[in-house]
Amino acid sequence: MASFLESGWLYLITHFNDFQLACLGSFFLHESVFFLSGLPFIYLERSGYLSKYKIQIKNNTPAAQDKCITRLLLYHFGVNLPVMIFSYPVFKYMGMRSSLPLPSWKVILTQILFYFILEDFVFYWGHRLLHTKWLYKHVHSVHHEYATPFGLTSEYAHPAEILFLGFATILGPAITGPHLFTLWLWMMVRVLETVEAHCGYHFPFSISNFLPLYGGADFHDYHHRVLYTKSGNYSSTFVYMDWIFGTDKGYRKLKALMRYEAAASNKQTS
């Protein structure tokens, strides 16, 4: 496996320079992973397939979905790509490299774990700040146009928010100056996580069923359904920040009530 990866990486660094890989390569990888993982949820919503796993009964209209895709392309080319280009000197200054050998899996996993911890902390407080009255009205309300989220709405936001919360994602790599391979893996995992959190479906194989600290779609869907002054559930990937600061109380009470009603219903039918 290692030799296969290094052979593929050798081809990339032989045919492309650092700037092309770090900027254009990262952008192409992001777009590919984001749309390939997010578009299937538009199909599921339009077709009604697997609707028993859908968290909300309400569906988005095709026009609303098309609007999301159009705006996303505008934001990605108008905001994301320029940010990748202008942040390149910073990453290079901090030690990012693309040369062989690739870092060990121990180094990769340690760095990505650090990125998750730091991103969770920064995102939580930034997200709470975005739910203050003025910032919500003028910035964060764009993201909340979709009370019934689907995968692609994960990156549908005001340009200022894209920059603000995107900072949480790139802060860890900017500090550590990782190998580009590590940066790409982090970007892929982060994209897949946020698409899953906004997908609108809770499947038997959803990660939150196996990792108690992982938020996932059910946790974040609640955040989109409730009015901004009472929403809570501000966490990014893991839920411990909401638990520590008590901003998930409404969600926990709702889940407890649902379990009680389900138990009472089962008792009546037995």
Does 20 map to a domain? yes
Burial 134-150 (b: 16+ CB within 10 A, else e): ebbeebbebbbebebbb
Give the count of domains, the chain. Answer: 1
Domain span including residue 185? 2-197
For residue 181, give the nearest of 3, 5, 46 by alpha carbon: 5
Position 265 scores a pLDDT of 74
Does 189 map to a domain? yes
Does 191 map to a domain? yes
Position 1 scores a pLDDT of 61
Does 248 map to a domain? no
Does 228 map to a domain? no
Position 229 scores a pLDDT of 64
Position 38 scores a pLDDT of 98
Does 46 map to a domain? yes
Does 53 map to a domain? yes
Stated pTM of the model: 0.94
Position 270 scores a pLDDT of 63
Are 209 and 53 a contacting pair, CB within 8 Å?
no
For residue 198, give the nearest of 170, 177, 224 by alpha carbon: 224
Does 90 map to a domain? yes
Question: What residue ranges of the chain have pLDDT lower than 70?
Answer: 1-2, 228-229, 269-270
